[in-house]
Homo-oligomer: A and B are copies of this chain.
Amino acid sequence: MADKPSIPKGTRDFTPLEMTRRNHIFDTIRKIFKTYGYLPIETPAMEHLSSLMGKYGDEGDKLLFKILNSGDFKNKLSDDELATIPAGKLGTMISEKGLRYDLTVPFARYVVQHRNEIVFPFKRYQIQPVWRADRPQRGRYREFYQCDVDVIGSDSLLNEFELIRIMDQVFSVLGLKVVIKMNNRKVLTGIVEMIGEPDRMIDVTVAIDKLEKVGLEKVMLELEQKGLKRDSIKRLAPVLQMEGSSLKKMKFLEGYLEGSHIGEEGLSEISQLFGLMENDPAEAEFELDLTLARGLNYYTGSIFEVKSAEVQIGSICGGGRYDDLTGIFGLDGVSGVGVSFGADRIYDVLLQLDRFPRKDEMDTQLLFVNFGQREALHIFPILGQLRKNGIASELYPDVAKMKKQMSYANARKIPFVALVGEQEIEDGVITLKEMETGNQERLTPDQLVDRLS
């Protein structure tokens, strides 16, 4: 036989078992999104490269999968151009389309393109794969699903509150203990204002982001190397060293941020959200984490991140408020907030903790052994009755040896096997065998439906 065929690195096939488990996650998330009034949309896998380029930074541009133009893609290029233009630039001259890199930019494009038909505030969710030409490694794929939920066209903090409730409910229904961390970009802006480095927001947040990993001293060293004033770093230190409850942190910030208009605004938003949460507590731990910065530039207010409280793994959900996402497509002044669930990491956590449900209730419940044509004819109407009642059931398609048919049932983990031979046909019954116990019962078709419902 020829070499085994394979798939591109960083991509995956999903087997039926994996599909069932992934669908458990997607279905849970989708169902909760819906009860909160969010509506589904889908966008094409391909977008114009012009819609994608420049939206994810230089690094992101390199990670876009580009689709080669159809037909004679080089007919507008001279030999000289083909030879001398570097691959990076040439790529954008022979490709006009790219695979979507996330769901956020296509969503912004969608909102602007469909703005006249959309009812605002627009609460949408979207569950689709995205593609990134990243170096594949454990837990990082070139094709993976994102589950995004956003509300756009309302700047009310109640939206943030609702998203926190959604995150809490999703992980509670999935049976996972999590910590929902929040922060606010305005508070971070206030902090850099107060230390006298209003233009160093990115340097400061990048450094803060590493606090947990590398410790206080190294973070302070990095800030010094980046050229922050000694005095600024000294003034930042109490923020980095702050410990204790969220309430204590808020109290501290009240004094620290006094005089920074934006900082105070951010703190007030945080306080309001904590107030709302207190009124109706979450199952998850909910905490203020001032080291939470989240890299994406478009966040302007609340930011969120969810971590597993049981498994050591990166964040399994995150997001925040953006005041100008659609601005990149020419529509200004539309505020939104959203979070994205990381299905692959949630999958890994559930698997590691063995928290997937034992069985998909829609897996095949019953296999009829195939004894031959005459018995099959007798079985078909019973099969029809079972299926119409939503009981997944099968007749083994071939008249194979009993042993082969039973080992199919075993391998497929089908819990019941039905035997219908001459005697059963005469008596109008089915012999039902429970695979685990070996117990047998004789049942009429109606009784069989009841038994398996």
Contacts and interface: CB of A to CB of B under 8 A. Distances in A.
Interface string A373-397: 0001100110010110011111101
Contacts of A66: 67-68
22 contacts: A1-B330, A1-B331, A5-B48, A6-B48, A7-B47, A13-B110, A13-B113, A16-B40, A35-B387, A62-B70, A67-B99, A74-B90, A79-B82, A79-B83, A119-B412, A121-B398, A155-B398, A162-B397, A169-B387, A276-B377, A276-B380, A280-B381
A42 interface: yes
Interface of A: 1-8, 11-16, 19-20, 23, 31-32, 34-37, 39-48, 51, 62-63, 65-68, 70-75, 79, 82-83, 86-87, 90-91, 94-97, 99, 109-110, 112-114, 117, 119, 121, 123-124, 129, 131, 133, 143, 151, 154-156, 158-159, 162, 165, 169, 276, 279-280, 329-331, 362, 364, 367, 370, 376-377, 380-381, 384, 386-387, 390-395, 397-399, 408, 411-412
A143 B71 contact: no
A265 to B, nearest CB: 17
Given A119-B411, A412-B119, A397 B329 contact: no
Contact of A43 (B7, B94, B151): B7
A37 B392 contact: yes
Given A37-B393, A67-B67, A156-B398, 17 more contacts: A5-B109, A5-B329, A7-B47, A7-B48, A13-B41, A13-B43, A14-B42, A16-B39, A16-B40, A23-B40, A37-B364, A67-B68, A73-B91, A79-B83, A82-B83, A121-B398, A121-B408
A329 B2 contact: yes
Contacts of A43: 7, 13-14
A35 B384 CA distance: 10
A71 B7 CA distance: 19
A28 to B, nearest CB: 13
Contact of A392 (B35, B159, B380): B35
A44 B387 contact: no
A160 to B, nearest CB: 10
A34 B86 CA distance: 51
